Structure 1
Amino acid sequence: MVAPAPDDAVVSSGFAASGRRVFEVEVEGLNAVAARLDGAFSAACARMLECRGRVVCTGMGKSGHVARKIAATFASTGTPAFYVHPGEAGHGDLGMITDADVVLALSYSGESDEILMLLPVLKRQGNIVIAMTGRPASTMATSADIHLDISVPAEACPLALAPTASTTASLAMGDALAVALLEARGFTADDFARSHPAGALGRRLLLHIRDVMHGGDEIPAIAADASLADALMEMSRKRLGMTVIVDDQRRLIGLYTDGDLRRTLTDPAVDVRNARIADVMTRDPFAISADALAVEAARLMETRKITMLPVVDGERRVVGALNIQDLLRARVV
C-alpha cells in the first residue's frame, strides 16, 4: 500500500515551529549571558584597550570559526586583531604572537587540547590570556587571566550536540567586546570607512566631489552674453549634457542643460536662432562644493530631481562640473 503524500501545509507548519523554537532557545541563552556581564567583561575590555600589540583570537572547530569572525570585527572597528589556528600555532605559527599581544581563546568546554598546549608558552611569554568558555571550572577558565562565561541553559539542537545557542552567545560576546572598545576609542564612521575603502560605505564616506568631478578644460562654460548657438556648441564639445554660465570672474550665474534645450525648442515664444543664453538659462542653479562628499551630490540630485551640478568654491566661482553618470561610475549610487 502506498503511503499518502504528506500535507504540505502541515510540513511547512512544522518547519516554522522548529525555527521559532530555535530562536526562543537562543534568545534565552543570550539573555542568560547578558545578565552575567560584570567586572570580568570590563577587565577584558580594559586589557584589550591598553594592549600595545594586537588581540590574537584562537579556537578550534566551531569556536575557531567564531574566533575568526570576532577577529575580523575587532579589526574593522579599531582594535587591531587577527586569528591564529591553535593547531598550527603549535607547529610554528606561535611565532606570530608577540609579548605585546593579548590572546582571546574560545572553547565552550574549556578543555580544547590544542589551546591547553599553548597556555604554558603564552604564560611564559607574558601574554594576557582571556578565555571565553561555557564552564567556569574548566582548565582554560581557571588558567586564564580573565574568564568570560558564555554558558547557556541549552543548545537549540534537540540532540544537545551541535553547537548552536553556545556559538551564538560566543558571537554576541565578541560583538559586545568590539562595540565597547569602539566606543572607548571614540571610533567614528570615518574611521570605519578608512578600513573599508573598497566597500559601499567607504565610497560614501571617503569619496569627495573633487574625486569624481570634471575640472579644468573639461568644464563646459560660457559667458552670459553668448548666444544659444554658442551654448549648444560648448555642450557638444564637452559632452556633459550641460554648460554653466559665468561672469567675468567665473562666478556661477546660470546653467543650461539638455532638458532646458528640449523645453526651449517647444517654447513658441523663443526665437532659437537669435536667442541669447541669458534669456533661456536657469538662473542661480543648485551647486555643490568640491569638498563635499560625493554622496551629498547624489542626495541633492535625488531630492531636487536633477542630474547635473556645477561645482563651486566659497565665492561661487565654478571649479568643476558633475553629472549623475559620474556618480554611477564611482558606484556612489
Structure 2
Amino acid sequence: MEILNDIKNVKLHSTAITIGNFDGVHVGHQKLISALENVASSQGLYKVIFTFKGHTSSILYPRKSLCLLTDFDDKIRFLKKCNPDFIITLDFDCSLSQMSYMDFFKEVLVNRLGCKALVIGENFRMGYRGMGNAQKIADLCDAHGVYLKVVSPAKVYGNVVSSTYIRNLISEGQVDVAKDYLGRYYEIKGVVVKGKQLGRTIGFPTVNLNCCKNRCLPKKGVYVTHTFACGNRYLSITNVGVKPTVKDDSEMTVESHLIGYSGDLYGEAVKIVFLKRIRDEIKFERIGDLKRQLQEDVRYALNYDNLFYNRHVLC
C-alpha cells in the first residue's frame, strides 16, 4: 500500500478509483470502498482511494464552519484498514476546485492515474461547481472505455448514512446511535494540558484535552467513555462543556476522569472513545453537590461498562 501526496510526476495504470472527502470513513464510505474492492478484483485492477487533505467545503464554502468527524491522520488510518493499493491525498485548492469535470476526468483520472474503472455514489459530483453529476460522468466513461459502478446509499434504521447526519447525531449527544452509522464508536484525540486542577481537591482528578478546534464535539454533558493513554485503556467519565460550577466562560473543554487511575499525563497524547451520554452539564451551587453527582456518574459508568462487555461477549 502506497500513499501519494502529489501526482505531478505519477503515472499509474490499470486502476479502479473511488473519490471523496471520506470524513468519518463511515459505513456508507465502507460500502463504496467494498464495491471498489469487488470491481478491482473482478477486473484485475489496482485499488485507488482518492481523497483530500482538507475538506472540500473549506474552499467551496469558506464562510461556512464545518466540524469534522476525523482529522487527517485518523482518516488515513481508517482508509488504510480498507487495504487499497494506493491512497491519493491532494490539497483541494482554488485551482483544483475550478477544474471542469471533463478536464479532471481526462487529465487526472484517465491520463495520469490510468483509470479503467470508477466507483461513485449516486449523489457524487465532480468538477467546477459540481457540474459533473452521475449521468455526465457515465457519458464520459462510455466515451473513454471506463467501467462505471454507481453505488446506492447505505442505510441504517431506514436513514441514509452521511457525514452530515452523523455530525448531527453527535451534536445531539447520541453517540451510542452514531456508532451504528460510523461502524465504530466516535473518538477524539488530543494532548493533555494543565487545567485548574480543582478536580484533585475533591477526589476526581481529570485530564484536560487540547483538541483540534474544527473537530465535531458531542453535545454538552457527561459521558461514559474509554480513555486510551500510554498504551492502556481506562474506563472514564468525560465532561464536554464549560464547567459552569468551577468557571464562568464560554470556552468549550473536554476533560476525563480516569476511574482508578492516579498519575500525571501532562503532555501525553490520549484518545477518548464516547460510549454513552449520562446527563446534561449542570451548574451546582456547592462543590459538595458536584462531588456527590460525580460519584453517581462513576457508578453509572461502572454499571454500563459491565453491561457493555457482557453484551459484546454474548454477541
- Return the TM-score normalized by structure 1: 0.27
Higher relative contact order (CA 8 A, sep 6+): 2
> Which has the greater radius of gyration?
1
Give the number of the structure whose residues are more often strand, by fraction: 2
